[in-house]
Amino acid sequence: MTKTLTLLLHRGPYESEYADLAVNFALKAKEKGYNVNLWLYGDGVWTSHVKRQKDYPNVGERLRKALKEGVNVKICARCAEARDLVKGDIIEGIPMVGLFDFTDWLEESDKVLTFMR
């Protein structure tokens, strides 16, 4: 049975390498055939806000690629609401859900990693 990896991203784009580490790790794990879940939490929700094309490499582009490759990405609805992040502001395909979606992921995962602070 295919193993499952869940990642939690707790930091926003540009402030540190964590957003890039999380998305790159997700992409590589997906490429190697694992089920991959990415939970955007706290300021990590801002990563989904980077949705326009840019002239330079950026984590939004990598996140869009991850979605296309089949990485499951979800945003914590409470964190998004607190930051007034709404559906139209963010990359398409990332649902805003409650914390129990994340605990479901924890339940089904073989390994869990945080990209933190």
Partner 1 sequence: MKTLIEVFRNTPPGKACLTLTKNVLDVVYGENIDYEIDKKTDITTKDFEVQMHPFPSRTAEERGIEGAPSICINRKLKAYGVISPEEIKDLIEKAKPIKIGIIITKTPNTNEDVENVLAIGEEALKAGNQVELFLLSDGVWVGKKGNVLTEKRLLNLINNGCKVKASRRHMKACGLNKEKLVEGINISDEPYDELVDLVMEKWEKVVIF
Partner 2 sequence: MATPEDCGDTCLIDTKKLLEKKGAVSAETGSDLLILLTEGTYGTFDGPFNAIQIGNAVLALEKNATIVLLDEGAYFGVKNQDPSEIELLNNTDYIQDFLDLGGRILALEPSLKKRGLLDDDLIEGIKLIDHSQLVQEIEKHKASLTF
* Residue with token string 């984590």: 59
Phi, psi of 44 (to 5 degrees): -60, -25
Task: Determine how β-strand 111-115 pairs with β-strand 72-76.
Answer: unpaired
Q: Shortest Cβ distance from residue 49 to partner 2 (Å)?
A: 17
Q: Shortest Cβ distance from residue 112 to partner 1 (Å)?
A: 8
Q: For partner 1, which residue of 9, 12, 13, 25 counts as binding (CB under 8 A)?
A: 25
Contact pattern from residue 17 through residue 56 relative to partner 2, giving x for each residue in contact according to CB under 8 A and a dash for the rest? ------------------------xxx-------------
For residues 24 and 12, give the distance between their C-alpha atoms in angstroms, rounded to a whole number. 15
